[in-house]
Amino acid sequence: MLWFAHRGVSDRFPENTLEAIAAAIEDDVDGVEFDVHFSKDGVGVIIHDETVNRTTNGTGRVIDMTVAELQALDAGARFKGEPIKTKIPTLDEVLAILAPATLRLNIELKTDTIRYDGLEAYVLERCAAHGIATDRLLFSSFNHYSVALIQKLDPRVETAILYPYPIYHPEEQALRIGATGIHPDYRRVTEADVAFAHAQDVTVRVYTPKTVEDVRQMQRIGVDAVIVNDPKGMRDTFEG
Ligand code: G3P
Ligand code: MG
């Protein structure tokens, strides 16, 4: 079973920041998940929500702010752990620190409620510009049209559908659009889902088990990977 960092190592550093992503490299985990949106001036930026309200000292929608305005905010302002001043990174800044590493990149396209036209092509282009090998790339989205589009734009990359609730034969829905992975909420996945997926060579990665016991349950039903907030800390307890 593989271990992915969710929004970087978001238990120990503010989520979706360079510090959280660098920690995933440092911790030698299998992959790192992070979320991408467009700024007003068309720059890919790494943040979870459509607004900056929950995670920074600012307010407003990401799409209504330029990258300069976004990067003037403190992305550590609302972090519950050790205080740290940091910024919303651009996709380029994140790719620059990930390029020399070997872990996988699970880039979540946050096209769920805002279309962000052109985001799929933009992200592929930036990954290529940074020389990130195709086999390190794994794209996912709750917007399955986005998954289908990025898969069509570059059939070499791996893609997966995200879903927060049970859906009918998710592996069939994935395969129908060319995706080979399913990324369900861990509370929604069943042993049968995993068996059906594996019978068709579809990979199952779950987000976001909260406790080591949750992870043990995921291992019992046979998932391929867990996307968690402190993969190294959990893995050490899990294996210890
Ligand atoms: O990609 C896995 C997980 O990040 C999906 O949910 O809301 O944390 O982006 P969310
Ligand atoms: Mg995400």
Tell me how many domains the chain contains: 1
The confidence score (pLDDT) of residue 212 equals: 97
Q: Residue with the nearest Cα to atom 4 of ligand 1?
A: 6
The confidence score (pLDDT) of residue 83 equals: 87
In a domain, 190, yes or no: no
Token pair in block for residue 187: 């509370």
Instruction: Give phi and psi for 182, each to the nearest 5.
Output: -125, 135
Amino acid at site 43 = V
- Give the residue, out of 162, 182, 228, with the most ligand 1 atoms within 8 A of its beta carbon, to mutate for a pocket test: 162
In a domain, 171, yes or no: no
The confidence score (pLDDT) of residue 65 equals: 98
Cβ(35) to ligand 1 under 6 A?
Answer: yes
The confidence score (pLDDT) of residue 135 equals: 97
In a domain, 77, yes or no: yes
In a domain, 125, yes or no: yes
Atom of ligand 1 nearest to the CA of 140: 1
In a domain, 200, yes or no: no
The confidence score (pLDDT) of residue 80 equals: 94
What does the pLDDT look like over 129-179, one tens digit per residue? 999 999 999 999 999 999 999 999 999 999 999 999 999 999 999 999 999
Domain CATH code at residue 152: 3.20.20.190
In a domain, 92, yes or no: yes
Cβ(15) to ligand 1 under 6 A?
Answer: no
**178 neighbors 200 (Cβ within 8 angstroms):** no
Tell me the whole-structure pTM to 2 decimals: 0.98
Determine the structural domain holding residue 56 and report its residue range.
Answer: 2-156+226-239
DSSP string of 115-180? --TTHHHHHHHHHHHTT--GGGEEEEES-HHHHHHHHHH-TTSEEEEEESS--SSHHHHHHHTT--
Does the model's ipTM exceed the 0.95 cut?
Answer: yes
The confidence score (pLDDT) of residue 134 equals: 97
Which stretches of the chain drop beneath a pLDDT of 70? none
In a domain, 197, yes or no: no
The confidence score (pLDDT) of residue 42 equals: 98
